Homo-oligomer: A and B are copies of this chain.
Amino acid sequence: MNVIPVILAGGSGTRLWPLSNEEKPKQFHNITGEGTLLELTINRLKPLNPDFCLIVTARMYEEMSYDELKKTGLKGSIISEPMPRNTAPAILYAATYLSKLYDDAIMLILPADHYIKKTDVFVTILKKAIEHAHNNHLVTIGITPTYPETGYGYIKAYDDPSEVKPVEMFVEKPNLETAKKYLREGNYFWNSGIFVWKISVILEYYQKLMPKLYQSFQPLRDLTVEQLTQNDELPWEIKRNVFSQIEAISIDYGIMEKADQRYVIPGEFGWADLGSWASIDDVLSPNTDMNRSPYPEKVIFHLSKNCTVFPDTKLIAVVGLHDVVVVDSGNEILVMDKNASQDLREVVNRIKNNR
Is A315 in contact with chain B by the CB < 8 A criterion? yes
A343: chain B residues at CB < 8 Å are 302-303, 319-320
Report the contact-size class of chain A (Cβ under 8 Å from the partner): 20 to 34
**With an 8 A cutoff between CB atoms, is A321 at the interface?**
yes
Stretch at the interface among A142-150, A227-235, A241-249, A344-352: A344-352
Known contacts A326-B335, A333-B326; is A351 also within 8 Å of B319 by CB?
Answer: no
A176 to B334, CA, bound (A): 37
- Choose among B316, B321, B347 the residue that contacts A333 (Cβ–Cβ < 8 A): B316
Q: Roughly how many angstroms separate A347 CA and B326 CA in the complex, as a whole number?
A: 17
Contact with B along A293-312 (1 / 0, CB 8 A): 00000001011000000010
Flag if A317 contacts B334 (CB, 8 Å).
yes
8 contacts between A and B (CB under 8 A): A300-B350, A302-B350, A315-B351, A317-B347, A320-B337, A321-B336, A324-B335, A326-B333
Q: Write out, one digit per residue, whether chain A residues 150-179 have a CB within 8 A of any chain B CB (1) or not (0).
A: 000000000000000000000000000000
CB of A299, distance to nearest CB on chain B (Å) = 10
Identical subunits present: 2
Question: At the interface, yes or no: A288 with Cβ under 8 Å from chain B?
Answer: no
Question: Which chain B residues lie closer than 8 Å to A303 at the CB level?
Answer: 340, 343
Whose C-beta in chain B lies nearest to the C-beta of A17?
B317
Residue on B with the closest CB to A325? Answer: B319
The complex places the Cα of A300 from the Cα of B331 at a distance, in Å, of 13
Residues of B within 8 Å of A284, CB to CB, are none
Say whether, besides A320-B343, A343-B320, A344-B319, A300 and B351 are in contact (CB < 8 Å).
Answer: yes
CB pair B333–A302 under 8 Å, yes or no, is: no
**Could you tell me the distance between the alpha carbons of A330 and B314 in the complex, rounded to whole angstroms?**
8
Say yes or no: is A224 at the interface (Cβ < 8 Å to chain B): no
A347 cross-chain contacts in B, Cβ below 8 A: 300, 302, 317, 319
Tell me, rounded to whole Å, the shortest Cβ–Cβ distance linking A302 to chain B. Answer: 5
Distance in angstroms from A230 CB to nearest chain B CB is 38
